[in-house]
Structure 1
Amino acid sequence: MDIRLDGQVAIVTGAGRGLGRSHALGLAARGAKVALIDFDPAADGAPPAASEVSAEIRARGGESMAVGANVANPDSVQTMVEQVLARWGRVDILVNNAGILRDKTFAKMDLADFRLVLDVHVMGTVHCTKAVWDRMREQKYGRIVLTASSSGLYGNFGQSNYGTAKAAMVGLMNVLHLEGEKHNIRTNILLPTAATGMTEGLFPAAIAALATPESITPGLLFLVSADAPSRVMLCAGAGTFARTLITETVGVHFPEADRTPENIAAAFDRISDPTDAVSVKTAFEQTEKLVALALRR
């Protein structure tokens, strides 16, 4: 069955270029009404880049609007959401895509740049999600995508701020999934690898030709569909899609008399053995797992 989004309202942040532009066009092509959110401090009103994409959507017969908003500013975000609601009356899809880079080694990084990246990526995502959360709860429907990165999962030299911000998406997704489940709000993470303005010069030409924003967007469309999963980390790049899973090893229990760092060191290979590793669903489930092992002794 075709995935259609007819009649649904989508908000895409950072929508003026790159991944955001591709996502907005993809959503509109599937029938969604799309609000393109971007930030240009020099613009009076809607940023030019977002306005151009909005015009492109309308030229193709779709419905869209361009709105200027700084996701790091909660008042700006609230005003933006109110504009979208005034225009279309609901919000079904939120794509948290806006982001910036301030790359330097940790030794050389200014704390202001560290904080700025967290403000845009982490608090920007929180501000936008918070602004639509109650409406999605009321309408018993919502699809939210957070944008993370392999830099947050695996690390990347010179990106301590960005990696920290992107790792935070995992914790946020897990809690939003649990709290939104009964309201039919599904929250997922997209981990894209794409040649965009933010990554310009980082990819060899041959890889950049494959790792286009357009090669990512089909994954985004799946994650916001009516039958989308929830609590999924979907990796996407060059038309290839994979899923990241977090698992926990069975572990080793030590009787009280044996709980020494030396014994932990000696048993570390057994502690690390991935055989029969499990995916833990909640923090309390992990506690129950660890205690159960102790009780079996």
Structure 2
Amino acid sequence: MTTLRMAAVAAEFGRDLEEDFQIAERLIKEAREEGVRLLALPEACLGGYLLSLDDSTELDEGPPALALDGPEIRRLASLAGEMTVVAGYCEAAGEARYNSVVCVTGDGVLGNHRKVHQPLSEDASYASGDRFHAFDTPVGRIGMMICYDKAFPESARALALDGAEIGVCVSAWPGSRTNAAASLEEDRWKRRFDLFDRARALENQIVWLSANQAGTFGSLRFVGSAKVVDPGGEILADTGVAAGVAVAELDVAQALETARRSMGHLRDRRPETYDIPTGAVSA
């Protein structure tokens, strides 16, 4: 039996890139001491997220745009060393900026994903990605997505069909913007965050790591709730709404085999019956 110790982070990151790297370095060091081999840091952990998702004046120049082959990502890879580390950042690509997530080891970049689904006014700050794909890593085949991507079943399904054994979703998921609950534990957007995590793992019968921002930034109050979910949709570790690290150990291959033995959701698909219209659905 070969087990994998993995962890998902809920932590507060801001606009100061050097401070963010100091936080990331501390988290990686602590995870390494715990024997973690796969670590997921939140969306926009390198440079911070947006101050607001409203069409308002509460905007700044946004996070620093970093090149995928630039010194900052090389620095992250150096910190990762023998570990596999996933982290969100603002990607510079020519004139465009993308809300992206990168997977690195000390050997360099293993995979990169540009956020496809953009909530509210996020498209005013970022261009949209156009694909989902899985890739091989030292800890197994991984598929990545960012925050709102997980609200769409097709996102995780595309990764699972591309062979992903582990889905990693990094987020800057806030609490509700209207009728906010006094306690984040009771917040309806937190409940949705948790439901999506469990559903995406269960329907695709994959292991699921969910990292998220914690604390506040601008007008946003993040729900934390980093977690590790098994292929049956059961939560193995969860930070709750506070900052923290959710750590779990699992034999991934055995967990997938057990979950898919009787009712294999990918195996038992009937795609010839899914006559899905491609046109837009009106609100």
Which bracket does the TM-score occupy, shorter chain normalised? 0.3 to 0.5
Bigger relative CO (Cα 8 Å, ≥ 6 apart): 2
TM-score (norm 1): 0.36
Q: Which has the higher helix share?
A: 1
Higher strand fraction (1 or 2): 2
TM-score with structure 2 length normalisation?
0.37
**Structure with bigger gyration radius:** 1
